Structure 1
Amino acid sequence: MQRRKFIKNTGIAGAALSATPSLFSKPIIKELNMIQKYPVAVATWNFQNATKMAGSILEKGGSALDAVEKGVMVEEANLKNTTVGDGGAPDRDGNVTLDACIMSPDGNAGSVVYLKEIQHPVSVARKVMEETPHVMLAGEGALQFAIQQGFQKKNILTKESEKAWKEWLKHKEYKPIINIENHDTIGMLCMDKNGDIAGACTTSGLSYKMNGRVGDSPIIGAGLFLDNEIGGAVGTGMGEAIMKSVGSFLIVELMRQGKSPQEACKEAVMRTVKHNPKYKDFQVAYVAMNKQGEIGSYCIHKGFSYAKFHMGESTDNLSDSYLDS
């Protein structure tokens, strides 16, 4: 819960703004072009340690693909983060099952779902992308492949998560909590010095979910999508809602049509709101980045934040662009 300190009682600050280049004078266009030369990393929620890791790789000339993998791995190894990787909350039967995907600038992708006993599912997803003819591996097959690739099995159900699960079993009540730990994830986009974009998304899913449930995070086009000619997007919140709208793919296509990252994220959220009368009961949030390094975000309810690394500085940006009505 410490990483929710960004939810301020006094209101919302920090906008995710973008604009159409044609509206700028020539000097400002030149300034935007200069910004492209600097690496950029952005991630859902206030994961500044993750964006700092990614940023350090980018600043040293590393690739966007390496940066997103190493960046999200920070949270996969964070035992205090109960929604990602090691220490994640289990399903209703006490199983910690992990989902992750990764996309490279050339459009290649890898994914794993329902993976047990492996601390870094994003790295397994990268191996699926690079070492197999497939995009997605699931369950026992994903675990077998991970072991064949040299990953070590590990008990990733911590004492703290097990204790919380056993307490939940006393009542077995489930209701998504907006902006709180039972439906959070980390999605990250990075643009390197060459202007190439890569993305990754990793999660342990909904706390106390039904055994076998898979959300949007490992689904290419839902939790993550990018086109290196246009930009990329990542989603977080209620995965079922994001999957139904193929949200990240939609955002990239809207940017292809000329919309800014901000406008595209808003349109994706509004699609969900339009088709789901119960939208007030859950959160959906997106972050997008275009090839100019412009970043936009939009969500249903206030309280969503994204971390950004740019020009040596990592910041927490609390989005004031939300519906919340």
Structure 2
Amino acid sequence: MLSRRNFIKISSASAACATISTSLANPLKAAAPKLPVVISTWDFGIAANKEAWTILGKGGRALDAVEAGVKIPEADLNNHTVGRAGYPDRDGHVTLDACIMDEKGNCGSVAAMEYIAHPIEVARMVMEKTPHVMLVGEGATQFAVEQGLKREKLLTPESEKEWKKWLETKQYKPVMNIENSQKPGNQYNHDTIGMLAIDAKGNISGACTTSGMAFKMHGRVGDSPIIGAGLYVDNEVGGATSTGVGEEVIRNVGSFLVVELMRQGYTPEAACKEAVMRIVKKKPDTAKEIQVGFLAINKKGEYGAYALQDGFSYAVCDSEKQDRLIKGKFYYKSNK
């Protein structure tokens, strides 16, 4: 017959074993990064993050940081997927898209806007100075000029040369993961910079900007300026952004989906993967031929990504390990 003392000893030992067993079955996750933290898509995100960190590192607001960060690739004349040096549409027009969203759910965007070098600036102005969420085309340009921004020709000599070369065949076939290829004449792209940041106060903001698909139909708009597709932020949960062929992101309301999955308890990477799998399940044949990637961060500062194809990468900057590029996980292994 067990004495009360022996029963307590056995019960304590059993509890300890159960604890060990549970720990082995469910190992503790790595600690979340210390705030602030900023993440962004592709290798050009490293320079963008560095600029964002000049604000975040001083205790600044995430909204200011993401705007300043994405303006770096917007101004880069060697970047033909974002901003002023972006390749034109098939009619020779450089049209830019961007959106921004803050921790309060405020948002603004511009689409198919010409003649203004920094669409992210205009997107923020739409958010803060108008009752609207989106302005498009000439209306967006007009608004930007009224706000004091310079109207200028954006078609660079290099972009114009590539456009005229494309006109010889008029063959449209975007190259996946174009930012990883530096070969001249091989810049026909569909990539974007999306950035998400959490500041020292724990508030989240995001920005997304692109010149869209090179040699697209005039007037085409992808996911990048569409709140819920190219970007979505919920300060209670986290934020998400996307890159790649925007049509499939729009069809699945991709970034909103990722955030809602995180609300349900998914990790950022698992949420991104599920959003990718929605594309695979709905359009398996299309999914094999295109690239789409999602990047997300939750309220804890944990982040992750997932893409259709091999080759997607994202940049991370925080107080512990700045300026690093991480290879995103993917569904299809490239044969190239």
2: distance between equivalents of 1:230 and 1:273? Answer: 26
Query: What is the aligned counterpart of 2:289 among 276, 281, 284?
Result: 281
Q: Is 1:45 aligned to residue 42 of structure 2?
A: yes
- Structure 2 partner of 1:58: 56
1: distance between equivalents of 2:52 and 2:280? Answer: 33
**Greater RCO, 1 or 2 (C-alpha within 8 Å, sep 6+):** 1
Q: What is the identity, as a one-letter code, of the residue corresponding to 1:290?
A: N
Q: Is 1:300 aligned to residue 308 of structure 2?
A: yes
What per-residue deviation string (whole Å, max 9, x for no partner) do you get for residues 189-236 of structure 1? 010000100000000000000000000000000000010000000000
1: distance between equivalents of 2:26 and 2:123? Answer: 41
What per-residue deviation string (whole Å, max 9, x for no partner) do you get for residues 119-168 of structure 1? 00000000000000000001111111001111001111100000000000
2: distance between equivalents of 1:278 and 1:76? Answer: 29
Q: What is the identity, as a one-letter code, of the residue corresponding to 1:295?
A: Y
Secondary structure of 1:281's partner? Answer: coil
Gaps of 5+ in 1: 1-21
- Structure 2 partner of 1:203: 210
Q: Is 1:313 aligned to residue 322 of structure 2?
A: yes
Secondary structure of 1:306's partner? Answer: strand
1: distance between equivalents of 2:201 and 2:323? Answer: 20
1: distance between equivalents of 2:164 and 2:205? Answer: 39
Number of matched pairs: 297
What per-residue deviation string (whole Å, max 9, x for no partner) do you get for residues 1-33 of structure 1? xxxxxxxxxxxxxxxxxxxxx9565xx78x54x
What per-residue deviation string (whole Å, max 9, x for no partner) do you get for residues 240-285 of structure 1? 0110000000000000000000110000000001111221110010
- Structure 2 partner of 1:164: 162
- Structure 2 partner of 1:268: 275
- Structure 1 partner of 2:174: 176
1: distance between equivalents of 2:147 and 2:60? Answer: 23
Contact 1:111–1:129 under 8 Å retained in 2: yes
- Structure 2 partner of 1:100: 98
1: distance between equivalents of 2:177 and 2:288? Answer: 12
Stretches of 4+ aligned residues off by more than 6 angstroms: none
- Aligned CA RMSD, in angstroms, stands at 1.4
- Structure 2 partner of 1:322: 330
1: distance between equivalents of 2:142 and 2:262? Answer: 39
Contact 1:176–1:281 under 8 Å retained in 2: no
1: distance between equivalents of 2:226 and 2:315? Answer: 22
Of the two, which has the highest radius of gyration? 2
Q: What is the identity, as a one-letter code, of the residue corresponding to 1:185?
A: T
Query: What is the aligned counterpart of 2:144 among 136, 143, 146?
Result: 146
- Structure 2 partner of 1:132: 130
1: distance between equivalents of 2:70 and 2:59? Answer: 18
1: distance between equivalents of 2:160 and 2:71? Answer: 22
Secondary structure of 2:66's partner? Answer: helix
Secondary structure of 2:330's partner? Answer: coil
Secondary structure of 1:107's partner? Answer: coil
Gaps of 5+ in 2: 1-24, 179-186
Q: CA deviation at 1:55?
A: 1.3
